[in-house]
A and B are shown apart, each in its own frame.
Chain A
């Protein structure tokens, strides 16, 4: 029968409308998940983009950027999620948002830095030659040219935050992970289907965010850059083909 295995149970769980519309059901949790993740990514952008772009503009701090990303890799998410509520941030959503933002910073920072660093020095020189000040160079030349990198960092950070937000349920922070945690609380024998269903929902959301932001990344990359890249790739393919 269908209800004998966890997959069948998960299908049954997902097909029960009450599991979606009840208080604390899928729709509630999805809303929490998106709100926590969105706030964390915005907070991360507000911190990381100005710093990364300024470091790239000044041409310093590349070592610090690498060091920060390596250090955050070693910090367990669970540790930050449990430590921050016990500080002045208090319980509830704020510590969860801050914890997730910490993990959003490295990709945002690294891409902002690389984006500004990798701009053709001639474009910068030309802007300076036209009499633009440092701030004007940053705002009118470097920022627009770095947008594809900023978008790539935004995509990486967002997917990571949406995935990590599932762990907020460890400290009762809400989100779709809550469905999985509650299932484990009941035990795999009783709630195997619910656990699996929660896992499917979280994984689908992460993949969906990845796909949507890939389209956004393409859309905000200026057409000339996109075309040039495609043409160069085609030319390279043709060259190797004829050789």
Chain B
């Protein structure tokens, strides 16, 4: 009720406007595409770095502390500061300026959860693999990583959701995907419809990607469902 009242108070500048969405569908779709691309690239690079790091920490116990500590420090550094560290070197016109910050931020979540997943591999499974003559790499790819998948997927889901939200910080240099709509609307005389469209799509994108990853995780680990039953 109060929501409708608020709409009536300011008929010229509503929070939700289909008119705006229709008139600017090209801009909105371009921003959404940029946002999704940045997220996908960041997650791809982060996964390619973080999962091997987790495996190294799993194989060489003394390295576990330093690896977790380093990614923890990177995670403590504010996102805007990371952007400030990278931008003077890479310039403000390229998406990769934002990409580097996103990757560094996603590392901790993936490393920590992948390591937790690897540590949960039952010792019996490892012994059995060893008894069957698996080498270190064979065991890694056919026993350890598949059994650690639930942990890895959890890490990927958390990292993806926070990355989608974090991309918007890039709007400070005009590389923020949907964040450009949000900040652009704010600067464009507080155009509420533009801000709200960007924000809603951003949360929606995070939820959709989270759901996709959760489904993929379930399909990839059919055994965990059987155990649950």
Tell me the A residues contacting B by CB distance below 8 Å. 6, 70, 73-79, 82-83, 86, 159, 162-164, 166-167, 169-171, 177, 180-181, 183-184, 187-188, 192-193, 195-196, 198-200, 202-203, 206-207, 210
Contacts and interface: CB of A to CB of B under 8 A. Distances in A.
B168 A78 contact: yes
B202 A79 contact: yes
Contacts of A169: 80
Given A184-B92, A199-B80, A74 B203 contact: yes
Interface string B199-214: 1001100110010000
Interface in B74-103: 76-85, 87-89, 91-92
B83 A199 contact: yes
B196 A83 contact: yes
Contacts of A203: 77-78, 81, 85
Contacts of B81: 163, 166, 180, 198-200, 202-203, 206
Size category, B interface? 35 or more
A170 B79 CA distance: 13
A166 to B, nearest CB: 4
Contacts of B84: 180, 183, 195-196, 198-199, 202
Contacts of A79: 168, 182, 195, 198-199, 202-203
B80 A180 contact: yes
Contacts of B202: 76, 79
Given A79-B198, A202-B84, A170 B183 contact: yes
B183 A82 contact: yes
A159 B77 CA distance: 9
Interface stretch (B39-47, B62-70, B118-126, B169-177): B169-177
Pick the most buried of A83, A199, A202, A206: most chain B CB atoms within 10 A of its CB: A199
A184 B172 CA distance: 8
B146 interface: no
B85 A199 contact: yes
A195 B168 CA distance: 19
A83 B162 CA distance: 19
B221 to A, nearest CB: 21
Interface of A is mostly: helix
Interface stretch (B16-24, B130-138, B184-192): B184-192
A210 B80 CA distance: 17
Contacts of A180: 80-81, 83-84, 172
B79 A163 contact: yes
A181 B172 contact: yes
B158 interface: yes
Contact of A167 (B80, B85, B87, B158): B80
A232 B206 CA distance: 42
A196 B81 CA distance: 8
B49 interface: no
30 contacts: A73-B165, A74-B210, A76-B168, A76-B179, A77-B165, A78-B168, A79-B168, A79-B199, A82-B185, A82-B195, A82-B199, A83-B196, A86-B190, A86-B192, A163-B77, A163-B78, A163-B81, A167-B169, A177-B80, A180-B80, A188-B87, A188-B88, A188-B91, A196-B88, A198-B84, A199-B80, A199-B81, A199-B82, A199-B84, A202-B80
A140 B151 CA distance: 39
B206 to A, nearest CB: 4
A6 B83 CA distance: 14
A75 B195 contact: no
Given A86-B190, A199-B85, A207-B77, 14 more contacts: A6-B89, A73-B165, A77-B165, A79-B195, A79-B199, A86-B195, A163-B81, A183-B84, A188-B92, A193-B88, A195-B84, A203-B77, A203-B78, A206-B81
B203 A82 contact: no
